[in-house]
Structure 1
Amino acid sequence: MMTLTKNFLILTLRSFSTKAAPKTTKPRKYTFIDSLRVHVRGGAGGQGFQKFGGSGGEGGCVYIKANKDINNLKTVIEKNPKKRYAAAVGQDSRRHWILGNPGEDVCIEVPVGVSVKDEHGKEMADLDEDGEEVVVAKGGKGGTIENSFLGQKGEARTIVLDLKLIADVALVGFPNAGKSTTLAALSRTSPKIAAYPFTTIQPYIGTMQYPDMRQITVADLPGLIEGAHVNKGMGHKFLKHIERTKLLLFIVDIDGFQLHTRYAYRTAFETILLLNKELELYNRDVLEKPAILALNKIDLDQAKEKTRTIISQVKHLPESLSDVDPEFHPKQIIKFDGILQMSAKNQDSVEMVKDLIRKRLDYHHEKERRLNEQHGIVVPDSLKNFQERLRLKNEQRKARLL
């Protein structure tokens, strides 16, 4: 009896031991990352040599540098998943090496368009040009007679890298308005396209190519919803990207918009006003940008009655606000440079959109140039100006390390 019980226990234990181990969770996959928190620490300064008056080397610095070949912050996290950066310490002064060498700097390369903020949200730098850089954690001073030959600690802080895409044109519209289809038609980009809201969950940038080789970039961003200004839906994840664009292209479905059966239906005119209002509540300065209104899917309006009504209402703003409930009324009404009737599936209407975008961009660029001349503002060549600033920065950094 004892033998049978013992054998039963052994078989039971073996059955438990042969069970397959639970599968490990898959590592998180990152697609498009436009905001990232990292910890940075400058290297400590080396110790001085009091007996011979030797100075320790300065600690290395951590700095952020814009690189045009990087598209998003995904590259940063792939290179360093721990998101912690520490520069090297300065070399101690020694009997046969009186002046210690400085610690090696650490460079974090980020996309052009990154805003660097401290943990309290205060902006430290805006890296809008390729090669531009900023020191985010200074190295500690080496030990000298001034600090009793004791090397100092380097700066340590948490910073936030916030990417705002730089594009010529931003597509603005509620989900399923046809923005992704429009981008695919305007450029060579192939964003995900489907007949349901929130197909676009990450930004896409396409490039419009013209016969004379002129190129204009267009950003398709996650669709807005009502309440985006208080971060509902994609909220700020979308809105922050339009701040650096030059022109807004509103894409509006002539049949209106309804996110879900639980939500109220909005007419095309109400949709335009709600988009206007969301931009206004987020940042009123955005409404000063040049804008074009594109009424999409006009092929579904065979009689053109809806199209004519919408165009009339937009042209007669603000008087036509009386047609809708006061909840849709923005305080500042955006002024459209043009109203287009289009179908993203019709190449002729797409070419018309491309042509108007180029004309409006050129017009506003020339207008700004003349305005600067009238006020005696001399705008230097941005490339030469930037290269000069970069050269001075590099010289200062080298001088500090000597």
Structure 2
Amino acid sequence: MVQLSRLFLRKYGNFVDNLRLYVRGGSGGMGLPRLGGQGGKGGDVWVVANKNMTLKRFKDKHPQKRFVSGAGANSSVRALKGETGKDKEISAPIGITVTADDGKILGELNVEGDRLMVAKGGAGGTLHTAFEPSRGQAKHIRLDLKLIADMGLVGFPNAGKSSLLTALSNATPEIASYAFTTLKPEIGKVLYEDYKQISVADLPGLIEGAHLNKGMGHKFLKHMERTKHLLFVVDVCGFQLASKTAYRSAFDAVQLLTKELELYKEELVSKPALLVVNKMDLPDAEDKLAELKEQLQSPQEFFDLFPEDAIPKNCITFRHVVPVSATTGLGVDHLKRCIRESLDEEAERENKAIHEERLRALRNQ
């Protein structure tokens, strides 16, 4: 356990997916009572999306995590209207959600150059304020990074997700024969002959109760929100996380993973999904695969063995069920084709929906 804790600190310590910052808009400038002058407005604080920025780099560059914009200039005989204070821009990674201390979402930055004002500068002094300026807004905000990927790998520890990501892509995650090897997200790129690239995110293995923030629960479940498709990965022979925990078959794993996603955010299970049945090089794998496929055809018939609170409201219908062996490469090329096919089908469906919406809008003009 001590070794696992040290591994967690070492591996996860290099990955940052949230930061808390202090931001303050600039104070306004003083007005000039004698001549009715108006003080300049204080500068605003903005968060701006930058594709070259990461939260780790941000943290290293700004250890104080404190951002204050410029004050507005006082009104003077030479300039009755004081100059506006200089804005402060905070470069942040693409894929950031900005929230206030009370949990209110202020906005999201999803595209290079997206801008969000997080603290407004104070007004300059005028006749209506007895020429007294106001202070700028001051608050703490939180930057939360949610990885953006075409595919998100979902699975319990030791299902072989890291090995699968290596087999599919150019990523080189740490791989070992014990649970919890992956302690930070990894992104791999699947390359195709026509130069199409698909991004795949490997997240640390979930545990039962992840929706309650057990293990690394919410820290990594949130990344599922921005993946276009889900790629469930299960061990064909099932798994047992520890000697004191129950053995779970591949079918159990599918339903429990579905339940964890559902309890965290119900709309997650409506995403298109594929099922990868891994470790097909193990003995009796073919028989266990046949059993799993039969169970998936009528999953409700097997729910009598589940506790009531472990049964998902809605079972996922997988677009493809693909048996593979990530270590030997068996089925990996077929899986790549299935991933591409599923993403292309969904893109075509979305484009068709957009086209139909535009036609309806034209008819209603």
Q: Where do residues 170-249 of structure 1 align in structure 2 (5 Å cutoff)?
A: 170-249=152-231
Q: Deviations over 1:317-349 (max 9, x none)?
A: 223334655454211111110101001123352
Alignment CA distance shift 1:317-1:372 (3 Å)? farther
With the length of structure 1 as denominator, give the TM-score of the two structures: 0.83
Map of 1:105 onto structure 2: 87
Q: Distance in 2 between matches of 1:306 and 1:347?
A: 19
1:66 aligned residue: 49
Q: Is the 8 A contact 1:49 1:56 kept in 2?
A: yes
Q: CA deviation at 1:297?
A: 0.2
- How far off its partner does 1:375 sit? 4.5
State the partner residue of 1:252: 234
Which blocks of at least 5 consecutive residues in structure 1 are unaligned? 1-28, 380-402
Q: Per-residue deviation at 1:99?
A: 2.4
Q: Counterpart of 1:343 in structure 2: which amino acid?
A: S
Query: Match for residue 273 of structure 1?
Result: 255
Could you tell me which runs of 5 or more consecutive residues in structure 2 were left unpaired when the two chains were aligned: 1-11
State the distance in 2 between where 1:195 and 1:304 align.
22
Q: Does 1:125 align with 2:107?
A: yes
Whichever residue aligns with residue 237 of structure 1, its letter is K
Residue of structure 1 in register with 2:25 after alignment: 42
Question: What per-residue deviation string (whole Å, max 9, x for no partner) do you get for residues 251-291 of structure 1?
Answer: 10112122211222211111111001101111110011000
Partners of 1:303 and 1:232 in 2: how far apart?
31
Alignment of 1:3-402 (within 5 A): 30-70=13-53, 72-302=54-284, 304-322=286-304, 324=306, 326=308, 328-376=310-358
Q: 1:140 to 1:286 in 2, by over 3 A?
A: same
- AA of the residue aligned to 2:88: V
- The whole-number CA distance in structure 2 between the counterparts of 1:137 and 1:198 is 40
Give the whole-Å Cα distance in 2 for the aligned partners of 1:162 and 1:218.
20
Task: Tell me by how many angstroms 1:176 deviates.
Answer: 0.8
Residue aligning to 2:8: none
The runs of at least 4 consecutive aligned structure 1 residues that moved more than 6 Å come to none
**Counterparts of 2:359 and 2:18 in 1: how far apart (Å)?**
35
RMSD between aligned residues: 1.7
| 1:30-53 Cα deviation digits (max 9, x unpaired) | 411111111110010011111122
CA distance in 2, matches of 1:371, 1:55: 52
Matched residue count: 350
CA shift at 1:374, angstroms? 3.7
CA contact (8 A) 2:281 2:328 kept: no
Identity %: 47
Aligned amino acid, residue 79 of structure 1: K
Give the letter for the 2:165 counterpart: L
Measure the CA separation in 2 of the matches of 1:195 and 1:378: 55
Code of the aligned partner of 2:336: K
**Counterpart position of 1:398:** none
Aligned residues of 2:28 and 2:40 also touching (Cα < 8 A): yes
Q: Whole-Å Cα distance in 1 between the matches of residues 18 and 97 of structure 2?
A: 10
**1:44 touches 1:139 (CA, 8 Å); kept in 2?**
yes
The normalised TM-score by structure 2 is: 0.92
